[in-house]
């Protein structure tokens, strides 16, 4: 079967798609949390004192007595078995960014041949997966390959359903035998704790002595593409690399902006409804769903949660999206840039700080005092983003996200903050207030006494800023659709711990010298705006002028992963991570190595796949077409018709160009032997990417001139518009 006919068949199959919708009748509300062993289930099943202890750990980060694990284990197992679970799995989040799970049966054979359901506290608390093949960046040598999973009580266990049997899933952390973090979860927990401690110090200065924790919240907007599976399986590049390595731009793309918020196709809506239902069962508060800018692109956003829980839910959501899409004959693409020239997919991480007592600390208050506190937290964020912009860029670095950041589209790789006119004005006043340096003026010009009540949702939403204040939270827009929210949240928590610590120390000093709180806050915030105000940018982040201005402001513009990731081991970053016990220098170095390893590997695979598809699919298609043209030309000549053959000439030239480009890329692949991950990454960036791009350009130039029935790959128009 020729490639071209498989493309035709794919189109036919897609067009004749029919699927009975599941036709749910159960009210959505009854579904929520049904498969979760959460607080309400624990309250029912645990002795009172045990429940109280568990709840205290979850709600306010109280340390946990391992003895309660025995009680929880029994209750959890009973619940799971009632739900049809035969197995349990410690679920963890290795440095790959994916989710890993190792399943064990509840049944343990007895000597007498019977079997017993076995699940004790120690099994809940700790697991030992054979984890030697997870990336560790040198933290574990193979002869000591042991890694341990440890129960994370703050993230509820849940049931993973399968028609053939259910599994109890227990979220865990994953560490080496030396206690070093091998996962994305451990530093998230550590950073949450560090941030909480410093935020509490600050709140105490504002007169809150009833605070036992401050939590960072995260709500991630997830963009994704859906493609019919027939197209997917006809595209080896998509199957291997999760993105298309070829494809001429469509004549109609997103120019008309007719897709954004448009009517959702029935099949996609059916998928979304079932997805919501599945997420609800797992206690994931899916909230909004809509079309995105590009054809075939959509978005889902859950309601924000504690960032640690939001992280686990986000991971589970991505898995569930892929699974449910398959039930509807589609593939869910989470790659940041599956289609060149078409809008990419991000994962905007909305975050705020707060707790049950104070509510959202990023909510502008309606009294001067509350506003002062709000502004202080904003000041902490401004300082953090300026001081650690490089880290924030590194935290979202990957080969695939490079296609978005600073490459084809915004947000730019320059990390700046958008405050909006209103808040900007307040900080301008604060900056000026310092200029007079007069005490009474300082109080007034602090901007808080006279501050108009800030609107919770300012209308102007700058979409071009990587880090934007959106009324009562900040939206970090740089993370990619495929990424775990752990790295961004670890970075945010850690650098906030630093700034909250700094601010508290400054305030404590000024208060001790006899300043009033308002005077002290004015002084500290003024200092922050003066030193770090450069990071505030309310203009168009997509413009070229901003690139220049950012450079003159001394802001980093780290365009590629290779430039960005080394920030993880810069002295300032290592110092701050070690100071708050989030990650050690060794752990950071390991992370950096793993990112480089993946970066180089991703590009190597893409390069090889480029050669393969070009050699075995595209070049042959073009040569077939060339043969047809030549045959026609020959028969015309034989018939005495003398005509020019410009198309034959053009195709022939382009075939040679493509062939040359393939050869050049192949040669570059053969030479890829770096001394270490960094060198290989740099080589991939500088040598592989340009040569891959060249092959693509040559192949894409053939697509519009080769006869359509000979072209083997489903086109952009087909993949993006037929659903």
Site size for ligand ADP (CB under 6 A) = 14
The residue (of 332 and 451) whose beta carbon lies closer to Mg ion is 332
Residue 171 interacts with which of Mg ion, ligand ADP, none, CB < 5 to 8 Å by class: none
- Mask for 435-474, x = binds ligand ADP (CB under 6 A): -------------------------------------xx-
DSSP state letters, 120-168:
-HHHHHEE----TTS--TTSS-GGG--EEEEE-TTS-EEEEP-TT-EEE
Q: Please list, in sequence order, all residues whose beta carbon lies within 8 angstroms of the beta carbon of residue 180, skipping any fewer than 6 positions away.
A: 139, 584, 586, 587, 590
> Closest CB to ligand ADP among 217 and 502?
217
Asked whether 364 and 472 are in contact (CB, 8 A), the reply is yes
Tokens of 598: 């993946």
For ligand ADP, the closer CB: 173 or 468 = 468
Q: Does 599 interact with ligand ADP (rule: CB under 6 A)?
A: no
Instruction: Give the three-class secondary structure for 223.
Output: strand
Stretch that binds ligand ADP, among 314-322, 348-356, 611-619, 675-683 (CB under 6 A): 348-356
Residue carrying the six token digits 């001790």: 512
Using rule CB under 6 A, residue 350 touches ligand ADP: yes
Choosing from 3, 61, 156, 219, the residue that interacts with ligand ADP (CB under 6 A) is 219
If the CB atoms of residues 221 and 312 are measured against Mg ion, the closer one turns out to be 221
Considering only residues 273 to 312 of the shown chain, the ones binding ligand ADP according to CB under 6 A are 288, 301-304
Per the document, the length of the chain is 723
Site for ligand ADP in 191-210 (CB under 6 A): none
**472 binding partner (options ligand ADP, Mg ion, none; Cβ < 5 to 8 Å by kind):** ligand ADP
Give dist(CA 467, CA 415) in Å, integer: 7
The residue with its CB nearest to ligand ADP is 219
The distance of closest approach from Cβ of residue 220 to ligand ADP in the complex, given in angstroms and rounded to an integer, is 6
Report the partner that residue 523 touches, choosing among ligand ADP, Mg ion, none (CB closer than 5 to 8 A by kind).
none
Judged by beta carbon, residue 221 or residue 597, the one nearer Mg ion is 221
Alpha helices in 286-367 (DSSP H): 307-327
CA distance 341 to 407: 11
Neighbours of 480 (CB within 10 A): 26
Selected binder of ligand ADP within 151, 328, 351, 625 (CB under 6 A):
351
Please write down the HEC assignment for all residues of 48-82.
Answer: HHHHHHHHHHHHHCCCCCCCHHHHHHHHHHHHHHH
Q: Which of the listed partners (Mg ion, ligand ADP, none) does 94 bind, with a CB threshold of 5 to 8 Å by partner kind?
A: none
CB under 8 Å, gap of 24 or more: what pairs does 118-121 form? 119/73, 119/74, 119/76, 119/77, 119/88, 120/70, 120/73, 121/66, 121/67, 121/69, 121/70, 121/71, 121/72, 121/73
Give least dist CB 291 to ligand ADP, A.
Answer: 12
Question: Is residue 380 helix, strand or coil?
Answer: helix
Give me the phi and psi of 536, to 5 degrees please.
-80, 125
Nearer to ligand ADP, 217 or 711 (CB): 217
Residue 563 sits in the site that holds Mg ion (CB under 5 A): no
Span from 216-224, 227-235, 594-602, 647-655 in contact with ligand ADP (CB under 6 A): 216-224
How many residues of this chain bind Mg ion (CB under 5 A)? 1
Structure tokens at 120: 């004790």
* Site string (67-86) toward ligand ADP, x via CB under 6 A: --------------------
Instruction: Kindly write out the interface string for residues 217-246 of this chain, putting x where it contacts Mg ion by CB under 5 A and - elsewhere.
Output: ----x-------------------------
* Residue selected from 93, 158, 217, 716 as contacting ligand ADP according to rule CB under 6 A: 217
Phi, psi of 432 (to 5 degrees): -70, -40
Q: Which does 79 bind (CB under 5 to 8 A by kind): ligand ADP, Mg ion, none?
A: none
**Strand 347-355, strand 359-360: pairing:** antiparallel
- Please report how close the Cβ of residue 349 comes to ligand ADP at its closest, in angstroms: 8
In this complex, which beta carbon is closest to ligand ADP, that of residue 461 or of residue 559? 461
- Taking the alpha carbons of 381, 383, 385, 391 in that order, is the dihedral positive or negative? negative
Nearer to Mg ion, 221 or 228 (CB): 221
> What's the min distance (Å) between Cβ of 573 and Mg ion?
30
Given ligand ADP, Mg ion, none, residue 698, with its beta carbon under 5 to 8 Å by kind, binds: none
Contact status, residue 496 vs residue 384, Cβ threshold 8 Å: yes
Nearer to Mg ion, 302 or 338 (CB): 302
Write down the H helix ranges in 581-688: 585-613, 619-638, 646-670, 677-683
Give least dist CB 608 to ligand ADP, A.
38
Q: Closer to ligand ADP at the Cβ: 156 or 302?
A: 302
d(CA 304, CA 286): 9
When CB distances to Mg ion are compared, the closest residue is 221
- Find which of Mg ion, ligand ADP, none residue 350 binds, CB within 5 to 8 Å per kind: ligand ADP
Q: Which does 304 bind (CB under 5 to 8 A by kind): ligand ADP, Mg ion, none?
A: ligand ADP
CB of 465 vs ligand ADP, minimal distance in Å: 12
Residue 283 contact partner, candidates Mg ion, ligand ADP, none, CB within 5 to 8 A by sort of partner: none
Least separation, in Å, of the C-beta of 316 and ligand ADP? 15
Q: Which span sits near ligand ADP by CB under 6 A: 57-65, 153-161, 350-358, 695-703? A: 350-358
Using CA atoms, how far residue 485 sits from 97, 159, 412, in Å, is 9, 23, 19
* Through-space distance between the first and last CA atoms of the chain, rounded to whole angstroms: 25
Q: Which of 152, 221, 223, 567 binds ligand ADP (CB under 6 A)?
A: 221
Say if CB 127 and CB 119 are below 8 A apart: no
CA separation (Å) from 42 to 119, 290, 536, 548?
Answer: 17, 35, 46, 57
CB of 351 to Mg ion, least distance (A): 15
Contacts of 536 by beta carbon, 8 Å cutoff, 6+ apart? 382, 416, 417, 418, 419, 424, 427
Looking at residues 200 to 219 of the shown chain, list those that interact with Mg ion (rule: CB under 5 A): none
Of the candidates 226, 243, 307, 354, the residue with the CA atom closest to the CA atom of residue 476: 307
Distance CA 538, CA 421 (A): 8
Question: Taking CB under 6 A as the rule, does residue 360 contact ligand ADP?
Answer: yes
Residue whose CB is less far from ligand ADP, 288 or 543: 288
Using CB distances below 5 to 8 A depending on partner kind, what does residue 231 bind out of ligand ADP, Mg ion, none?
none
- Identify what 352 binds: Mg ion, ligand ADP, none; CB under 5 to 8 Å per kind: ligand ADP
Q: Which does 360 bind (CB under 5 to 8 A by kind): ligand ADP, Mg ion, none?
A: ligand ADP
3-class secondary-structure state, position 265? coil
Q: Can you tell me the distance from the alpha carbon of 425 to that of 521, in angstroms, rounded to the nearest whole number?
A: 17
Q: Taking CB under 6 A as the rule, does residue 183 contact ligand ADP?
A: no
CA distance 237 to 45: 50
Which residues are near Mg ion by CB under 5 A?
Answer: 221
Which residues are near ligand ADP by CB under 6 A?
Answer: 217, 219, 221, 288, 301-304, 350-352, 360, 472-473
């Amino acid at each position: 079967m020729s490639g071209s006919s498989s493309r035709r068949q794919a189109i036919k199959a897609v067009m004749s798609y029919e699927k009975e919708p599941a036709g749910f009748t159960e009210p959505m509300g009854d579904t929520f949390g049904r498969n979760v062993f959460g607080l309400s289930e624990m309250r029912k099943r645990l002795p009172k004192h045990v429940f109280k202890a568990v709840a205290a750990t979850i709600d306010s980060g109280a340390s946990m007595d391992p003895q309660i694990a025995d009680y929880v284990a029994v209750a959890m197992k009973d619940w799971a078995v009632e739900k049809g679970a035969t197995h349990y799995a410690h679920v963890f989040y290795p440095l790959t960014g994916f989710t890993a799970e190792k399943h064990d049966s509840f049944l343990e054979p007895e000597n007498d041949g019977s079997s017993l359901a076995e699940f004790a506290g120690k099994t809940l608390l700790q697991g030992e997966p054979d984890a030697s093949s997870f990336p560790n960046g040198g933290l574990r040598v193979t002869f000591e390959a042991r890694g341990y999973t440890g129960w994370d009580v703050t993230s509820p266990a849940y049931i993973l359903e399968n028609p053939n049997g259910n599994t109890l899933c227990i979220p865990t952390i994953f560490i080496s035998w030396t206690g070093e973090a091998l996962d994305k979860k451990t530093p998230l927990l550590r950073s949450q704790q560090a941030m909480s401690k410093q935020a509490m110090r600050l709140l105490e200065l504002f007169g809150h002595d009833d605070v036992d924790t401050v939590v960072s919240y995260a709500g991630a907007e997830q963009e994704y593409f859906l493609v019919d599976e027939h197209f997917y399986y006809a595209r080896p590049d998509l199957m291997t690399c999760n993105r298309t390595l070829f494809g001429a731009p469509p004549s109609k793309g997103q120019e008309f902006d007719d897709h954004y918020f448009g009517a959702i196709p029935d099949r996609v809506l059916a998928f979304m409804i079932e997805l919501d239902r599945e997420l609800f069962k797992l206690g994931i508060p899916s909230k909004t769903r809509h079309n995105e800018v590009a054809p075939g692109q959509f978005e889902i956003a859950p309601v924000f949660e504690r960032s640690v829980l939001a992280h686990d839910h986000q991971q589970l959501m991505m898995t569930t999206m892929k699974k449910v899409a398959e039930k509807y004959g589609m593939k869910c693409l989470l790659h940041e840039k599956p289609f060149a020239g078409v809008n990419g997919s991000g994962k905007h991480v909305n975050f705020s700080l707060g707790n049950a007592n104070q509510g959202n600390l990023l909510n502008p208050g309606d009294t001067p005092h509350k506003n002062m506190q709000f502004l202080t937290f904003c000041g902490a964020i401004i300082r953090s983003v300026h001081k650690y912009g490089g880290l924030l860029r590194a935290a979202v670095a990957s080969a695939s996200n490079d296609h978005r950041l600073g490459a084809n589209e915004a947000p730019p790789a320059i990390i700046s903050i958008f405050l909006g006119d209103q808040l900007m004005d307040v900080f301008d006043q604060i900056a000026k207030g310092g200029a007079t340096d007069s005490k009474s003026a300082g109080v007034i010009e602090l901007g808080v006494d006279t501050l108009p009540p800030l609107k919770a949702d300012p209308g102007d939403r700058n979409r071009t800023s990587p880090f934007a204040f959106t009324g009562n939270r900040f939206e970090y827009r740089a993370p990619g659709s495929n990424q775990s929210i752990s790295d961004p949240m670890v970075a945010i928590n850690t650098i906030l711990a630093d700034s909250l610590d700094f601010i508290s120390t400054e305030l404590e000093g000024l208060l001790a010298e006899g300043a009033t709180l308002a005077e002290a806050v004015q002084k500290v915030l003024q200092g922050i705006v003066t030193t770090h105000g450069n990071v505030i940018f309310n203009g168009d982040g997509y413009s070229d002028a901003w690139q220049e201005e950012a450079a003159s402001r001394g802001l980093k513009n780290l365009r590629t992963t290779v430039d960005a990731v080394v920030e993880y081991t810069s002295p300032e970053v290592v110092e701050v991570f070690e100071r708050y016990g989030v990650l050690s220098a060794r752990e950071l170095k390991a992370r950096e190595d793993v990112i480089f390893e993946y970066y180089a590997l991703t590009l190597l695979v893409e390069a090889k796949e480029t050669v393969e598809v070009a050699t075995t699919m595209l070049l042959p298609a073009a040569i077939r077409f060339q043969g047809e043209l030549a045959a026609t030309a020959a028969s015309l000549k034989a018939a005495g018709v003398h005509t020019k053959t410009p198309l034959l000439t053009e195709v022939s030239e382009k075939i040679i160009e493509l062939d040359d480009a393939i050869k050049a890329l192949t040669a570059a692949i053969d030479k890829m032997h770096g001394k270490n991950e960094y060198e290989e990454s740099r080589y991939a960036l500088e040598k592989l990417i340009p040569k891959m791009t060249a092959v693509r350009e040559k192949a894409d130039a053939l697509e519009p001139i080769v006869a359509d029935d000979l072209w083997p790959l489903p086109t952009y128009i087909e993949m993006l518009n037929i659903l």
